[in-house]
Amino acid sequence: MGLLDGRVAVVTGSGRGIGREFAVCLAAEGAAVVVNDVGVGLDGRGTDEDPAAVTVRDIEKAGGRAVASYDSVSDFEAAGRIIQTAVDAFGTIDILVNNAGIIRDKSLLKMDEADYDAVIAVHQKGSFNCARHAAPIMKDKGYGRIINITSSAGLRGNFGQSNYGAAKAALMGMTFVWAIELGKYGVTVNAMAPAGFTRMTEGLYQGAEPPPDQNPALNAPLVAFLASEQASYVNGQVLGRTGFAYTIFQTPRQVAAMWKDGGWTPAEVAEKFHDVLGQHLQPVGMPAHPLLGKKDAG
């Protein structure tokens, strides 16, 4: 018996890398899987490869059930066909893993509009598109699991990834909203920030052998759990992986406040900011400042 026996999953961008490991793991746990992958390069431009078919064959060889899907998540109607593929092939959809993504890394000073729009269209709009088609089915049956794949680039930032970081931060926000909207129907929505050696990260190693904890398969067990009935109490959370550890992020919340009866003037804010709020700053990308890291002696 697997965690997902009898369930039906759609995993977008699952022909290669981390997405492939999600699909393989879900299938090993008993789910029937739609392997969605358009087979493009990292930048979203076409190739002649068919990674979705390869992943389907590997799942079937292992005794699982899977079908391929080649529609693009970035197109609303095409995303509907992805979800319909699950319904046509396996009767329903229980699990959606929004993993599809591309990268076009450039600094803000060099990025053009096309680079920005293309990445947003796949990660952020694509996740909305697929969820919008899957959620009504999940609501009507009173059960569903949506897992949005986010990234530290959206949670903490990363150089050269205005487009990717914005999309991944948006996925965090949509996770919070959908969890509130869908939880009462038995549909949970969570986000996961994975890690691992893939086409997206191979440049970091410059030909060197990645360490064992960068095996992309290490992400999949957490997603399989989140996709299961046993995770019914986990909703609206952002989780991740660091090394061999699974982690959980705190929902952004206020950590300090400065109050003054009747409100503030700009000059008063400038005078009091450091003593009250400035002590909580975590400086990013800035040269040393005499106030940073110093607390009021009084």
pLDDT in tens, 113-126: 999 999 999 999 99
Q: pLDDT at position 282, please?
A: 75
Active-site residue flag, 116: no
Over the chain (298 residues), what is each successive 10-residue block's mean pLDDT?
Answer: 95 95 98 92 57 96 97 97 98 98 87 92 96 98 97 81 90 96 97 78 59 85 97 95 92 88 93 89 72 54
Q: pLDDT at position 297, please?
A: 41
Residue 251, exposed/middle/buried by CB under 10 A (0-12, 13-18, 19+)?
Answer: exposed
**CB-based contact 12:97 (threshold 8 Å):** yes
Q: pLDDT at position 294, please?
A: 56
**CB-based contact 98:127 (threshold 8 Å):** yes
Residue tagged active-site, from 116, 164, 185, 205: 164
Q: Tell me the pLDDT tens digit for each residue of 120-145.
A: 999 999 999 999 999 999 999 999 99
Residues 6+ apart with CB under 8 A from 136: none
The fold for domain 8-249 equals Rossmann fold (3.40.50)
Delimit the domains of the chain by residue range.
Answer: 8-249, 254-298
Query: Taking the complete model, does pTM exceed 0.85, yes or no?
Result: yes
